[in-house]
Chain A
């Protein structure tokens, strides 16, 4: 299909109505693709669409210009229906140079549209992208609608009369030309982005003017251009009424902790060491000194968790954040926290492993590390968030469980939901569940630090500064009653059992496992953590195709698991466990529910599942 033939097709004046659209903006690291994508998704969200986005940037900080590995991208999925993933394949690809086109063309649906900056297809750039011939000329893009625009030239032309701009500022604004075009194509207003310029460049009026001009130029160019085959619209989605904002998973995690701190009345202490993709939680929390947040960047992960242990001992709501390799370093100190039974939230934003692995990619391969990666028998609570917005609730929940049960809680998120963003119906702390804690403030006769709540088995929290409750805790085994050092064999057995039982009883304080779609039937699709969006959308599509006998159960509580887990499993003939590792949750399920046969879908490529691959496997197993 050539452009020629397409443009001759009738151009409808009324925009075509679409349910959902996936757009990917790709260019050189310096081309501003993250900003372009964010602007488009924010504008769409404010228009009322449901959205999900995912950035994809190179791990090199300053990759050489035009290189294949220097390509930076931002994908956004907007819908008038519920959108639960950033989308598998792409409806519109905006490629700002040859390298971006080469590395992203695979994702574009056949017959769909590519917008390219033709000016960037120079001999040098083509060579850098290892193109032997120019794809715009050699016919290799035959199966797509290609819209070639001299974006650099048009941008320069637009800005020739704006005073006070250097060459760099001019080239930098060409992304706004592309954005303007896409706004027109999807019937979006430029208002939000113009507002954004006004705020961002408050003290640089020439930049406000330049960016606005280029944005509008792109918009009008698309409008007047015969080359644009069509314009589409995506109507507002049906979402619960309320006040929303677009939030990234890591920000949501940080905010959930802020909310827990306010609700519990405890000051928030973060001890952390930078590591991708967890660092943004540190970046976010350091901003909030006005809420009394104490954020401590330590010399390494060990000191990070240890400072948090100290803060917890002293009575703060203590947090440590990291990713896989950092969790390995924290292992011994996490064991100590379990042993001295102090509240602590450990957040592991999982990335591709093992070792340094794939720092900027996603994976769910730290589950067993979180469960068992310590010396001795060392049970802790393990929970996992499912979506970017979910990170808020589960960070809050991690704090609640840690404080109520006097134990470390490992919260697992991953690169996919941590960097992804989605609409979040803003939660006021007033509406969040209550958070109790175990602090004792008065000395009583015969008080011991390991006095326990008979129901939860969680011990008393006596913090320094409280007269009469002076006591020592430590990593050595302790007497089950006095808390003094004790090596007696029977006592060690009692304490080991108590620590295990204490975590088991958390079951009484967590919700039951929910099943979506069929409540009983032939196949139960099981997942955990950050794959919620992809699994949910795959099961939905599968159900829409007529498979009404398929249910979906997603775990956020992994240790302990919800009480009704067995009951749920019993209602289905087959169970299939889907996860981005080689079968770690399936391993845990088999250990706990040996009576069931668990099928598996696994993927370890640093990538999320796609709808198609999931559905294909569902079919095979049914």
Chain B
């Protein structure tokens, strides 16, 4: 299934015949296009791709993909996707979810799917609002945010999806702006290649109910100065002219300017996404300036299906039971003879 030399598909092969019904200008279109561009690069057969979603604007996604798909019920996509993958580990299985879908009604499933580390990919459309139900606050909405269900300002403090994920022992976490299709496409490809559960949080703008919630970090003019795009093995450098970087000062990350106060590129931290210890990843996730994007964590670990497979093989090889008859007629049986 892995990358074949000749590209078999173009993005068009992954476009379904259904009319896309998101609001014009919604970042969901960007995510859809990025996925349709990423899939031909993955070298996976179309019939081996499954998209499973919950409920929400975001969860309409599978209808627009010309692959196998399930548009399920609110918050429950992780369970369904887990079943698909465990039933057929050869499939490339994607969970499409929103901030409410994943972290409100589906919060329990979200943490458990991350902990188990089945080889699944989760795309979290975080617009910090309930889109489909027309604008209530979500578990990622900010305190003070005015929404249809918080007209005087939201009083419930939010989750940070990345921190929540790391707390649940996520092995792969990436964050990317909803207006950055190029990087997003690349991250989707990397997530597919990663063995284990990968979580990609997309900072998705909802033009109708929460427009501009990310503009101060994702706008074209400010994005290079306000975001750091992390790549494994590369120094943590950002800024329009790549003049800024991150160093560790005590137990905190600090922004420094290269060339000032004797700082050279060598002093800048190197990003190690594959490190098992999540401490640095956690610090990067918490950083407000610059906002960390890219693949923050990608720690290779044994997957659930690998463990299951190994166990099953071992048990099969040593078992005296090949057919159910062997079991049913084993142990304490007795004969009743015809009189």
Contacts and interface: CB of A to CB of B under 8 A. Distances in A.
Interface string A300-344: 101111111111111110100000000000001100100010000
Contacts of B85: 310
B321 interface: yes
Q: Which residue of A236, A291, A427, A472 has the most chain B CB atoms within 10 A of its CB atom?
A: A472
B2 interface: no
Interface in A442-470: 463-470
Contact of A311 (B76, B87, B335): B87
Given A296-B86, A307-B86, A474-B62, 14 more contacts: A236-B336, A242-B335, A271-B83, A296-B82, A299-B108, A303-B79, A303-B112, A306-B80, A310-B83, A314-B91, A336-B72, A471-B68, A472-B63, A474-B63
9 closest residue pairs by CB, A with B: A310-B83, A306-B79, A474-B71, A290-B319, A307-B83, A314-B87, A303-B79, A472-B69, A310-B80
Contact of A315 (B69, B88, B109): B88
Given A48-B336, A467-B47, A311 B331 contact: no
Nearest to A427: B328
Interface stretch (B34-42, B245-253, B295-303, B310-318): B310-318
B323 interface: yes
B87 A267 contact: yes
A51 to B, nearest CB: 12
Interface string A546-585: 0000000000000000000000000000000000000000
Interface string A422-436: 000111111000000
Contact of A290 (B70, B315, B333): B315
Nearest to A476: B71
B46 to A, nearest CB: 6
A466 B82 contact: no
Given A245-B333, A290-B315, A309 B328 contact: no
Q: Which residue of B47, B79, B84, B331 has the most chain A CB atoms within 10 A of its CB atom?
A: B79
Interface stretch (A90-98, A202-210, A254-262, A521-529): A254-262
A429 B70 contact: no
Contact of B70 (A313, A430, A469): A313
B336 A244 contact: yes
A121 interface: no
A259 B325 CA distance: 9
Given A262-B324, A464-B91, A472-B62, A311 B83 contact: yes
Nearest to A242: B336
13 contacts: A269-B87, A296-B86, A303-B76, A306-B109, A307-B80, A308-B83, A309-B70, A309-B83, A311-B86, A314-B83, A426-B333, A463-B88, A465-B48
Contacts of B55: 475
Interface residues of A, number: 73
A14 interface: no
B214 to A, nearest CB: 29
A299 B112 contact: yes
Contacts of B265: none
Given A306-B80, A472-B16, A474-B62, A262 B323 contact: yes
Interface of A: 42, 45-46, 48, 236, 238-246, 255, 258-259, 262, 267, 269, 271, 288-292, 294, 296, 298-300, 302-316, 318, 332-333, 336, 340, 425-430, 463-476, 484-485
A79 B239 CA distance: 88
B73 A310 contact: no
Q: Which residue of A48, A262, A306, A475 has the most chain B CB atoms within 10 A of its CB atom?
A: A306
B83 A255 contact: no
Interface in B82-134: 82-88, 90-91, 108-109, 112
Nearest to A443: B47
A397 to B, nearest CB: 16
B109 to A, nearest CB: 5
B333 A255 contact: no
Contacts of B52: 310
B24 interface: no
Contacts of B333: 243-245, 426
For this complex, into which size category does the number of interface residues on chain B fall? 35 or more
B88 A243 contact: no
B261 interface: no
B336 A465 contact: no
B66 interface: yes
B260 interface: no
A312 B79 CA distance: 12
A466 B331 CA distance: 42
Contact of A464 (B48, B80, B322, B329): B48
B338 interface: yes
B88 A465 contact: yes
Nearest to A246: B332
B156 interface: no
A255 B332 contact: no
A470 B328 contact: no
Nearest to B317: A290
B45 interface: yes
A474 B308 CA distance: 29
B196 interface: no
A292 B308 CA distance: 11
B334 interface: yes
A364 B49 CA distance: 43
Contacts of B69: 471-474
A425 B339 CA distance: 16
Contact of B334 (A243, A298, A466): A243
Contact of A240 (B308, B312, B334, B336): B336
B337 interface: yes
Contacts of B72: 306, 309, 336, 474-475
A307 B88 CA distance: 12
Given A296-B86, A428-B325, A472-B16, A245 B70 contact: no
Contacts of B336: 48, 236, 239-244, 425
A258 B324 contact: yes
